[in-house]
């Protein structure tokens, strides 16, 4: 009976204490639900128990004072104090306020972590933003440049030989560690920041580069090729090395032979001897006169040959025993009826052809007529000299040095050489102006006949097109 009485008494006391604890906990939670925990410090200043609505006014002077505080950084024997502005640091009051006023959940009081935080001193730092480039630049100026880790790499040197450029360890300012230290300064836990450097290892070590070089030397050997007629070509390893591309995949150093580069090597080593350019037979559509007789050509499948060479390298195929076949295909010329006023295929790209007899300018790209315009060339003793020219430069508006009071719009200077040398004052331009304001423009009525002092004149709309579409160094053929 006594035992039952004692148990009842124990139970009642326990229940009372638990209830009291719960009531106290809940009361404290709801009292502080919209307030800062009582033992909270921001930048060393007490802000505990402050109502969320009053917090902005409370932290404004704290942050204002903190913003003016220099940050002293020590490295080796040097100690330098920086303003926060010099380091690219800006305290973010709005973000700080947002983090401080995040309330706990409704039943947060039931969590052990809640009470641990509630009953422990919280020394907080304000939120801040850092301009990373400025931060790094300021530190390097005061404490020395970062030495960035350098990967070992294989280079092509001298007569296309393989050489290893050795790896170098980096020595860099530990920015992450430094930022942690600055947070502690802002929290009032530190007065000085110790700058630390860290050694950074390269991704590609000397060992990996040596391994890659050994693989290349073993796999990339002389490649033999032959035509159906028994013509033999040999592409040496030194010819292939420039086509090798290197990639870094995590910590591995990989190499491969680039398809496009290999195609260029095939064209250079084989194509120059085997490929013959086709010349089409051309007949003047107006006079039926034969302009070019035509010539058959030959071609080789460059892409396929390059693929076969790469396949032989990758699979270590002995091409001394099984040479790679180079098929040579004949290409028949075709017959084209063209306007004999101009010539096609004078270059592989864009060029200008001027027919003085026809008084026309033709813009051609390889074998295609792009545009053509009526012109006025030089007259009489000032006839435009025939020959090959290049666009030297382009000036939107200039004056004539040879003929005062004449102003020229959309000027395209002509030089005898592609580098701009051999300039004798000739050019292609818009109709001439007789005053700087271009109130008087002459030459429209004489387009289609020689009338200039030696230059090539174009009508205004045509001159605009020419000025905007024909680049410097474009060849100009005048015949």
User: Contact 217/97 with Cβ under 8 angstroms?
Assistant: no
103 or 395, greater pLDDT: 395
> Average pLDDT of 25-45?
68
> Residue 159 has what pLDDT?
80
What average pLDDT does the segment 285-302 reach?
92
8 A C-beta contact, residue 41 and residue 48? yes
Higher pLDDT, 3 or 352: 352
Query: pLDDT tens digits, residue range 193-224?
Result: 999 999 999 999 999 999 999 999 999 999 99
CATH assignment of 342-478? 2.40.440.10
pLDDT, mean of residues 342-351: 92
- Measured CA to CA, the distance from residue 99 to residue 126 in angstroms comes to 9
Tokens of 258: 């680039």
Instruction: Spell out where 377-462 has E strands.
Output: 387-399, 407-415, 423-429, 456-458
312 versus 51: the higher-pLDDT residue is 312
Asked if residue 388 lies in contact with residue 353, where contact means CB atoms within 8 angstroms, the answer is no
Confidence grade of residue 30 (pLDDT, cut at 50, 70, 90): very low
241-256 core/surface letters (b: 16 or more CB in 10 A; e: else)? bebbebeeeeeebeee
SS3 at position 286: coil
Break the chain into its structural domains and give their ranges.
2-67+93-128, 208-337, 342-478
Residues 359-365, mean pLDDT to the nearest whole number = 98
What confidence score (pLDDT) does residue 218 get? 95
Q: In CATH terms, are 208-337 and 342-478 the same topology?
A: no
Contact 187, 125 (CB under 8 A): yes
pLDDT (tens digit per residue) in 226-248:
999 999 999 999 999 999 999 99
Give the fold, CATH level 3, of 208-337: Ubiquitin-like (UB roll) (3.10.20)
> Is 289 buried (19+), middle (13-18) or exposed (0-12) by CB count in 10 A?
exposed
Kindly report which listed range (4-13, 71-80, 292-301) carries the lowest average pLDDT score: 4-13
Highest-scoring range by mean pLDDT, 28-32, 45-49, 145-149, 383-387:
383-387
Per-residue model confidence (pLDDT) at position 31: 47
Question: Across all residues in the chain, what is the average pLDDT?
Answer: 89
Give the confidence band of 287 by pLDDT, cuts at 50, 70, 90: confident
Work out whether strand 78-82 and strand 71-75 pair parallel, antiparallel, or are unpaired.
Answer: antiparallel
Residue for token pair 């326990």? 14
Q: Hey, is 192 helix, strand or coil?
A: coil
């Amino acid at each position: 009976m006594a035992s039952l009485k004692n148990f009842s008494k124990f139970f009642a006391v326990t229940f009372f204490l638990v209830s009291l604890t719960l009531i106290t906990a809940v009361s404290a939670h709801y009292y502080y639900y919209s307030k800062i925990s009582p033992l909270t410090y921001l930048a060393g200043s007490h802000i505990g128990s402050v109502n969320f609505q009053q917090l902005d006014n409370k932290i404004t002077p704290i942050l204002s004072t903190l913003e003016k505080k220099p940050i002293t950084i020590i490295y080796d024997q040097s100690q330098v104090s920086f303003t926060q502005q010099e380091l690219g640091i800006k305290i973010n009051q709005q973000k700080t306020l947002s983090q401080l006023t995040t309330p706990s959940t409704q039943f947060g009081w039931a969590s052990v972590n809640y009470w641990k935080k509630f009953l422990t001193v919280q020394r907080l730092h304000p939120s801040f933003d850092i301009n990373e480039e400025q931060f790094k630049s300021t530190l390097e100026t005061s404490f020395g440049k970062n030495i960035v880790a350098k990967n070992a790499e294989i280079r092509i040197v001298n007569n296309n030989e393989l050489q290893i450029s050795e790896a170098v360890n980096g020595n860099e300012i530990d920015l992450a560690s430094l930022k942690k230290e600055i947070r502690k300064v802002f929290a009032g836990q530190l007065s000085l920041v110790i700058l630390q450097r860290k050694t950074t290892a390269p991704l590609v070590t000397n060992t990996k580069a040596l391994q890659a070089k050994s693989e290349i030397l073993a796999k990339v050997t002389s490649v033999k090729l032959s035509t159906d007629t028994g013509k033999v070509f040999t592409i040496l390893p030194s010819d292939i090395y420039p086509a090798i591309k290197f990639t870094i995949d995590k910590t591995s150093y990989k190499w491969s032979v680039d398809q496009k580069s290999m195609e260029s090597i095939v064209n250079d080593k084989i194509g120059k001897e085997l490929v013959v350019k086709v010349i089409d037979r051309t007949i003047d559509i107006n006079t039926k006169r034969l302009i070019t007789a035509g010539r058959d050509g030959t071609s080789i499948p460059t892409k396929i040959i390059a693929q076969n060479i790469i396949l032989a390298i990758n699979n270590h195929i002995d091409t001394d025993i099984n040479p790679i076949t180079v098929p040579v295909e004949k290409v028949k010329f075709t017959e084209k009826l063209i306007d004999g006023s101009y010539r096609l295929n004078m270059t592989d790209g864009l060029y200008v052809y001027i027919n003085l007899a026809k008084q026309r300018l033709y813009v051609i790209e390889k074998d295609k007529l792009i545009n053509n315009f009526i012109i006025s060339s030089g007259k009489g003793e000032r006839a435009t000299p025939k020959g090959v020219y290049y666009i030297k430069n382009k000036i939107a508006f200039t004056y004539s040095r040879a003929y005062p009071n004449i102003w020229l719009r959309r000027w395209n200077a002509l030089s005898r050489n592609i580098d701009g040398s051999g300039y004798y004052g000739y050019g292609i331009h818009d109709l001439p102006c007789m005053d700087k304001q271009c109130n008087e423009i002459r030459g429209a009525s004489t387009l289609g006949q020689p009338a200039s002092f030696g230059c090539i004149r174009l009508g205004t709309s045509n001159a605009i097109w020419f000025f905007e579409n024909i680049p410097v160094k474009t060849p100009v053929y005048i015949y």
